Structure formats: structure tokens, C-alpha cells
Amino acid sequence: MNNGKLLIVDLEANCWESRLSQEGVLQGFHNIKIIEYGCSVNDARNMGQLLPYMDWRLEPELLTP
């Protein structure tokens, strides 16, 4: 690690109550939708925050092609 900084990315995804879709498909990485993400830059030595945490909520219409 050359500069001693870490980029930390936080993803929040939807989840199904029973972990099964209405069609009976088990929820996994292949069928989740990211609904919010955030990031922060921290000092790798002491995990002190170097830049403020920022997050963005994705609206459903942005998730559809």
C-alpha cells in the first residue's frame, strides 16, 4: 500500500423476506438490486476518516434498463 489510504464502499441491496421470490427462486448475487451505495476514504493506519462519508440512494426507475 503506497499511500496508506483505503476506499471503503458500502452497498445496500434489497432482500426478500423468505429469501425466495414468488417464483420460488432463491435470492443470491445474481438477482439482487442495489438500492443505495456509499463510500469513504480512510487512513489505513488508524482507520481515521480522511473524507466525509457520502451515500446515494438509487431510485427504482434508475435500476431498470
User: pLDDT value at position 6?
Assistant: 92
Across residues 19-28, what is the average pLDDT? 81
Furthest C-alpha separation in the chain: 49
Question: Is the pTM above the cut of 0.85?
Answer: no
Specify burial of residue 48 (Cβ count, 10 A radius: 0-12, 13-18, 19+).
Answer: exposed
Gap between the Cα atoms of 38 and 35, Å rounded: 11
Cα–Cα distance, 13 to 16 (Å, whole number): 10
